């Protein structure tokens, strides 16, 4: 990575502790990603983004701020980035996926909090992530209890806006979410001193829809029997989508898809024919959480789909682009976002329907239902999900894990046995 120490120092980061983080990441990336054979050439872009993860994009965000722009940090796929971009601001994902930040989070949160929340709070408090330092305002949501309380702690340190997400999907809930989006628009306008007009929102809807289209095209390639890209590479792309410049991301992902489609035509697969196809479902895998993909793909199977927020939930369904008034556009945003099936909703049959439908589309041999430790929402829903999958005749393995490596060997044994069982 180029030398960004001055920039990090200006952000008030703890440089010594940050050095420790920077030491472990390149080796982990080498082991999980660069060691793979036959990767698409267009993965070079994403390799570069990860190699420069705390450098290039943070520098771009700071430049934007120097030009008078604002940066909003978000933690959930229900928060509409479109509103932020329509106000000439930038939205960036902030979910923490590293064990490195967990101990700092545990200083203020109970140990029995999910690692994603502990890492996200820890990344802010221990001053080792530039994205958490740069964001002018954080946008939280009322999805799960742990997050709701975490916002109160983060809100003492940084301006915070909380969006009140309904927990059911009745007509009145979709209307309520549209009202929340309107209020968010007002907050963003005031904070940025920029007006969100129908024209600007229309352009922002197109910008984010284009990103969704590119990701959908990537996932379409993964449905093929001839698998042109590994699950690990698809995962890193999904993770990068949360913070890269959306227009550039769309362009680079479209270029990658050109190559993948060419590979399919020429029957170039990253795995031998007959490799077992696995879908993952459950809690999100924030960067740099690559643990399960790595175990599955070094145990002789391939991950072909993720029914997760770092997966299909992030890009499925487009926002209607035909609306021309702010009111119509905000209703369209609410409709699209309320179509996401997170376990924080009740009832949540839509998620089960999605999983069964995706299992068929991606021709999966088995599903791994992943739960981040202490996430009671996905843990409880796991019972219904796994029962529905068994009823549908789809083999399923439920696992619970965190960000440490302490269970890696045990998981390897269980996942290995599951893959072996699929071959019988």
Q: Dihedral of CA 149/122/377/160: which sign? A: positive
Token look-up 């031998």 returns: 272
**CA 131 – CA 113 distance, rounded (Å):** 22
Residue among 11 and 119 whose Cβ is closer to ligand SF4: 119
Residue among 252 and 370 whose Cβ is closer to ligand SF4: 370
DSSP 275: P
Letters for 41-80 (x = contact with ligand SF4 by CB under 6 A, - = none) are -----------------------------------xxx--
Strand pairing class (366-372; 301-307): unpaired
Q: Which of 295, 375, 394, 396 touches ligand SF4 by CB under 6 A?
A: 375
144: contact with ligand SF4 by CB under 6 A: yes
Q: Which of 42, 49, 117, 319 touches ligand SF4 by CB under 6 A?
A: 117
DSSP 86-139: HTT-EEEE-----GGGHHHHHTTS-TTS-HHHHHHHHHHHTT--HHHHH-SEEE
109: contact with ligand SF4 by CB under 6 A: no
Helices 246-265 and 198-222, packing angle to 10 deg = 30
Shortest reach from residue 290's CB to ligand SF4, in Å: 17
Q: What residues numbered 276-305 form the site for ligand SF4, per CB under 6 A?
A: 283-284
CB 197 within 8 A of CB 208: no
Q: Dihedral of CA 69/70/74/79: which sign? A: negative
**CA 160 – CA 152 distance, rounded (Å):** 9
DSSP 32-61: IIIT-SS--TTHHHHHHHHHTTTTHHHHHH
Q: Which of 71, 178, 344, 419 touches ligand SF4 by CB under 6 A?
A: 344
Shortest reach from residue 164's CB to ligand SF4, in Å: 13
Taking CB under 6 A as the binding criterion, the range among 35-43, 201-209, 369-377, 393-401 that sits at the site for ligand SF4 is 369-377
**CA 372 – CA 260 distance, rounded (Å):** 32
227: contact with ligand SF4 by CB under 6 A: no
**CA 101 – CA 289 distance, rounded (Å):** 12
Residue among 38 and 404 whose Cβ is closer to ligand SF4: 404
Shortest reach from residue 376's CB to ligand SF4, in Å: 7
Q: Which of 135, 309, 415, 419 touches ligand SF4 by CB under 6 A?
A: 309
**CA 148 – CA 140 distance, rounded (Å):** 8
114: contact with ligand SF4 by CB under 6 A: yes
Any long-range contacts for 183-186 (C-beta under 8 Å, 24+ apart)? 184/79, 184/80, 184/83, 184/139, 185/83, 185/86, 185/87, 185/326, 185/330
Within a 13 Å sphere around the CA of 39, how many CA atoms are in the beta-carbon half?
A: 17
Taking CB under 6 A as the binding criterion, the range among 31-39, 109-117, 126-134, 292-300 that sits at the site for ligand SF4 is 109-117
Shortest reach from residue 119's CB to ligand SF4, in Å: 10
Shortest reach from residue 113's CB to ligand SF4, in Å: 8
Taking CB under 6 A as the binding criterion, the range among 24-32, 111-119, 270-278, 292-300 that sits at the site for ligand SF4 is 111-119
Q: Which of 147, 200, 277, 336 touches ligand SF4 by CB under 6 A?
A: 147
Taking CB under 6 A as the binding criterion, the range among 26-34, 44-52, 144-152, 387-395 that sits at the site for ligand SF4 is 144-152
Shortest reach from residue 357's CB to ligand SF4, in Å: 19
**CA 279 – CA 396 distance, rounded (Å):** 10
**Where on the chain is the footprint of ligand SF4 (CB under 6 A)?**
76-78, 114, 116-117, 143-144, 146-147, 283-284, 309, 340, 342, 344, 372, 375, 377-378
């Amino acid at each position: 990575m180029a030398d960004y120490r001055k920039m990090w120092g200006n952000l008030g980061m703890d440089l010594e502790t940050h050095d420790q983080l920077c030491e472990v990441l390149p080796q982990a990336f080498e082991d999980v990603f660069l060691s793979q054979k036959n990767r698409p050439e267009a993965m070079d872009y994403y390799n570069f983004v990860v190699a420069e993860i705390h450098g290039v994009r943070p520098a771009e965000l700071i430049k934007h701020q120097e030009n008078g722009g604002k940066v909003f940090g978000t933690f959930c796929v229900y928060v509409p980035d479109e509103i932020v971009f329509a106000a000439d601001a930038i939205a960036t994902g902030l979910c923490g996926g590293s064990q490195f930040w967990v101990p700092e989070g545990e200083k203020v949160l109970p140990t029995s909090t999910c690692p994603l929340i502990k890492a996200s709070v820890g990344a802010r408090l221990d001053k080792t992530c530039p994205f958490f330092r740069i964001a002018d305002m954080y946008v939280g949501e009322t999805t799960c209890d742990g997050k709701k309380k975490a916002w109160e702690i983060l809100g003492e340190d940084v301006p915070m806006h909380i969006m009140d997400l309904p927990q059911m999907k009745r007509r009145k809930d979709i209307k309520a979410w549209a009202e929340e989006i309107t209020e968010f628009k007002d907050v963003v306008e005031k904070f940025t001193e920029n007006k969100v007009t129908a024209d600007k929102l229309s352009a922002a809807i197109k910008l984010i829809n284009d990103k969704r289209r590119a990701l959908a095209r990537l996932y379409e390639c993964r449905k093929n029997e001839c698998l042109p890209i590994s699950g690990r590479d698809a995962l890193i792309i999904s993770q990068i989508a949360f913070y890269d410049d959306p227009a550039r991301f769309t362009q680079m992902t479209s270029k990658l898809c050109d190559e993948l489609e060419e590979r399919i035509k020429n029957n170039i697969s990253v795995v031998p024919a007959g490799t077992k196809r696995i879908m993952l479902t459950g809690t999100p895998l924030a960067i740099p959480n690559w643990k399960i993909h790595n175990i599955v793909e070094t145990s002789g199977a391939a991950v072909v789909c993720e029914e997760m927020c770092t997966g299909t939930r992030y890009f499925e369904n487009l926002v209607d682009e035909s609306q021309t008034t702010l009111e119509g556009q905000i209703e369209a945003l609410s409709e699209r976002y309320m179509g996401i099936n997170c376990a924080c909703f009740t009832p949540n049959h839509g998620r089960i329907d999605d999983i069964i439908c995706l299992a068929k589309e991606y021709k999966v041999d088995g599903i791994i239902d992943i739960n981040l430790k202490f996430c009671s929402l996905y843990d409880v829903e796991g019972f219904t999900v796994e029962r529905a999958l068994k009823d549908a005749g789809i083999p399923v393995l439920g696992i619970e894990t965190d960000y440490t490596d302490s269970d890696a060997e045990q998981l390897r044994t269980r996942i290995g046995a599951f893959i072996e069982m699929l071959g019988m």
